[in-house]
Structure 1
């Protein structure tokens, strides 16, 4: 692995591993309005299994609970044009079930810039992002150190935070399917700044779309191997993630892993995981 810097590991891992998949439709246009009842909420629970890139040992599991408005997440195709994510709770657990880290997302103000809090008690690490009245605040602390806080009153035109990456993919699905690249600014709490990334189509089959993601600057791409993401073309759900993760081993080194996601109504994903 080319990247020796834990900071950049956190940056990219926030986007993809913590983001994973929201079961909301591309181009959702539901907004809260006066005297209009919000759509009924439902919850989707699913699991991701992270294994070494060589297909070997199980490293950890991710347990997701995603609450959606306006759709039944257990529908046959997993999509609904009026659905949108509300909140997400994630637990990261070791193979023996020990809790590694936990995260909460709140999408209600913005699908692309959701509030979030991530905590890893093993190393006393905590990071948080909030957006209030157009002002974005990033804060983090580690190992008992004082909290570092930075505020932004002006945001990039296409700003994305944490699990908002997957909402970005869905909203730009036709563009990516056509092979056009997409550049966006990711809010990195670890660096307390916005960093440009590029995502584009790598390959396509009858039922899957594989995307590759990298640092947008041609001067920096050598620092980090591409991340690969396989999506189901019908449901637009993330099935497989390959690359650097946000979870460390006992020595503090970040894992590179292949993560396969298992959905309660998506049998092919379960079969693929079981075959490993």
Structure 2
């Protein structure tokens, strides 16, 4: 009886704060190269909670697999307990003996530990500055600024280059792409004119519910020890959470 009263109290507290556990958000992506050939597939599972009717991600796992194969060749785990924009990251590509860890030993520091394909170990401590975004945090940045982007406004932020140990200036801006048919299409571009000559923009597409439909650009999956794949990844949602993805 006492346990039942405790459970009822917990539910009342969750209702009072507007927080409840959200149904898992699941989606997959198929990455194709410039020649149209399938390079690999991604399988995403995001556990989170519903706060004031909006989904907040907490734990996100990604398995990367060869086409029509069950065994994964790479995996990534992201933990968003700190911030939807600044997850902890644990990324492994065993076939290249590569591992990347991103953590936060203090409030104002990003710690990067990178085991390179060449067998070296590199470590960086990067001071947090401005609106800092790490790894897949850009996806949540789009959702947080959904209305602004839909109205045609740009959003500036700083993005972590983990293998460089530095935050770089970037912007999200509405931009239609001929290879996409999405409800909202945005480009990620460097703010520096010099970097614009060196770094191609990444194009993103979203459906009207705020789910990613397209990613076009350089990926985090290696083609060889010296270069990553350039791909168009098209996503399909298998399961939406019980609350909204966008404000």
Give the TM interval when normalised to the shorter protein: 0.7 to 0.9
3-state SS in 2 of match to 1:221: helix
Q: Does 1:59 align with 2:39?
A: yes
Give CA-to-partner distance per residue, 1:42-71, whole Å, 9 cap, x none: 3222210011234x2111000111112128
**Mapped partners of 2:92, 2:79: distance in 1:** 15
* Corresponding residue for residue 75 of structure 1: none
Are 2:25 and 2:239, in contact at CA under 8 Å, matched by a contact in 1?
no
Higher relative contact order (CA 8 A, sep 6+): 1
Partner of residue 3, structure 2:
none
User: C-alpha root-mean-square deviation of aligned residues, in Å?
Assistant: 2.8
Gap regions ≥5 residues in structure 1: 1-31, 72-79, 267-276
Ranges in structure 2 where 5+ consecutive residues have no aligned partner: 1-12, 241-247
Residue number in structure 1 paired with 2:89: 116
Q: Does 1:94 align with 2:74?
A: no
Once the two structures are superposed, residues 218-261 of structure 1 have per-residue CA deviations (whole angstroms, 9 ceiling, x without a partner) of: 122011222211111x2111111111212223575322111110
Aligned to 2:176: 203
**Higher Rg of the two aligned structures:** 2
Q: 1:239 aligns with which of 199, 213, 223?
A: 213
The TM-score, its normalising length taken from structure 1, stands at 0.73
Show structure 1 runs of 4+ deviating over 4 A. 35-38, 204-207
**3-state SS, counterpart of residue 168 of structure 1:** helix
Would you say how many aligned residue pairs link Structure 1 and Structure 2? 223
* Residue from 44, 63, 66 that aligns with 2:25: 44
Q: Confirm or deny: 8 A CA contact 1:48 1:262 kept in the other structure.
A: yes
TM-score by length of 2: 0.80
